[in-house]
């Protein structure tokens, strides 16, 4: 039976990949975004149905969500989306703390059966960080308040992934092309080095597989900590250099690195986030491991088309 799935944030990196995968497996997919379809859309979602709406709008009409069997929520703002001059508390309240569970409640009222939210790994690994880091607190609130809605035919599930390795055609891939030129020594600046510390990484392909598994087999009300490879930032950049055919060796330097700026290192420069996802949960969700190096090779191959 074909499921009718709404992918919120379906023109972004994660959402467009999820939407394409679900459509390929036979689901009837609708992409929800704040703008109408246009030339700037990822090719993966071209031709898919479009619902234009803002999930965080308080006056969003829940009737727009009627008729969908499931929602994949891939639109939650993260630390990269926080404007430098923003009211941080207000931003996270709208985008995460209140916006996500309010939207999920409207989905439940509209008769949606399953709701899979893409969250973030920080609060599930280190809930104590929520007391000092507003972003982590916001992610925790969005996760827990959404899953608390489970019941009466509504199953809310959260996937909490680490840093995702993948690219979209266009601006995203151009950014990767610059990084590839950097590890090859083709850019004079910034200097070639990595900051100390590291984290867990997961390929976009593995994430998409986990979403599909959560839609069909995820336990209602559960939060799953998913992930793949624990890498020092230096080792991550070295994998990219190797994939790009570079012979350069990435050194470590304890200073801010423009390709891994301090404001994106939530745990703090020099600290490492490391964990192994539960093997039974990996099997349940059905996603691949050991895919990060291959993901970087795929990105290098895709970026090479930009120079042709």
What's the confidence (pLDDT) of residue 269? 97
Is pLDDT at 5 greater than 90 in this prediction? yes
What's the confidence (pLDDT) of residue 308? 54
Question: Which residues of the chain are in CATH 3.40.50.720 domains?
Answer: 4-160
Question: DSSP secondary structure string, 74-135?
Answer: -----GGGS-TTS-HHHHHIIIIITHHHHHHHHHHHTT--EEEEE--SHHHH-GGGGGT-HH
Q: Which CATH number fits domain 167-200+230-307: 3.90.25, 1.10.150, 3.30.390, 1.20.120?
A: 3.90.25
User: pLDDT-derived band of residue 172, with 50, 70 and 90 as boundaries?
Assistant: confident
User: pLDDT-derived band of residue 307, with 50, 70 and 90 as boundaries?
Assistant: low
Average the pLDDT over 103-119 and give the result. 98
User: pLDDT-derived band of residue 168, with 50, 70 and 90 as boundaries?
Assistant: confident
Residue tagged 């030129």 (tokens): 181
Is pLDDT at 83 greater than 90 in this prediction? no
> 268-301 pLDDT, tens per residue?
999 999 999 999 999 999 999 999 999 999 999 9
Cβ neighbors of 113 (< 8 A, separation 6 or more) are 69, 70, 153, 154, 155
User: pLDDT-derived band of residue 39, with 50, 70 and 90 as boundaries?
Assistant: confident
What's the confidence (pLDDT) of residue 169? 80
Average the pLDDT over 26-31 and give the result. 97
Question: Which residues of the chain are in CATH 3.90.25 domains?
Answer: 167-200+230-307
Percentage with pLDDT > 90 across the chain: 85
Architecture of domain 4-160: 3-Layer(aba) Sandwich (3.40)
Average the pLDDT over 132-145 and give the result. 96
What's the confidence (pLDDT) of residue 1? 55
């Amino acid at each position: 039976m074909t499921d009718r799935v709404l992918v919120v944030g379906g023109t972004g990196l994660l959402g467009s990949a999820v939407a394409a995968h679900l459509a390929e497996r036979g689901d009837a997919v609708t992409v929800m975004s704040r703008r109408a379809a246009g030339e700037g859309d990822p090719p993966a979602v071209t031709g898919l149905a479009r619902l234009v709406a803002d999930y965080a709008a308080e006056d969003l009409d829940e009737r727009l969500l009627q008729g969908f069997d499931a929602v994949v929520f891939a639109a939650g703002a993260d630390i990269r989306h926080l404007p430098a001059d923003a009211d941080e508390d207000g931003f996270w309240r709208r985008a995460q703390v209140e916006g996500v569970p309010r939207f999920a409640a409207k989905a439940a009222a509209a008769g949606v059966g399953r709701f899979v939210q893409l969250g973030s790994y920080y609060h599930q690994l280190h809930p104590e960080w929520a007391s000092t880091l507003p972003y982590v607190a916001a992610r925790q609130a969005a996760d827990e308040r959404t899953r608390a809605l489970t019941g009466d035919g509504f199953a809310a599930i959260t996937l909490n992934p680490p840093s995702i390795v993948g690219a979209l055609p266009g601006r995203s891939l151009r950014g990767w092309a610059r990084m590839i030129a950097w590890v090859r020594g083709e850019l004079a600046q910034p200097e070639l080095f990595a900051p100390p510390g590291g984290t867990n990484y997961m390929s976009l392909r593995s994430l998409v597989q986990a979403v599909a598994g959560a839609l069909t087999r995820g336990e209602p009300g559960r939060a799953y900590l998913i992930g793949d490879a624990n890498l020092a930032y230096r080792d991550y950049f070295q994998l990219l250099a190797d994939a790009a055919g570079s012979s350069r060796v990435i050194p470590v330097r304890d200073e801010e690195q423009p390709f891994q700026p301090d404001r994106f290192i939530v745990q703090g420069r020099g600290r490492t986030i490391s964990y192994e996802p539960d093997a039974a949960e990996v099997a349940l969700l059905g996603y691949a491991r050991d895919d990060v190096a291959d993901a970087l090779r795929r990105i290098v191959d895709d970026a090479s088309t930009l120079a042709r």
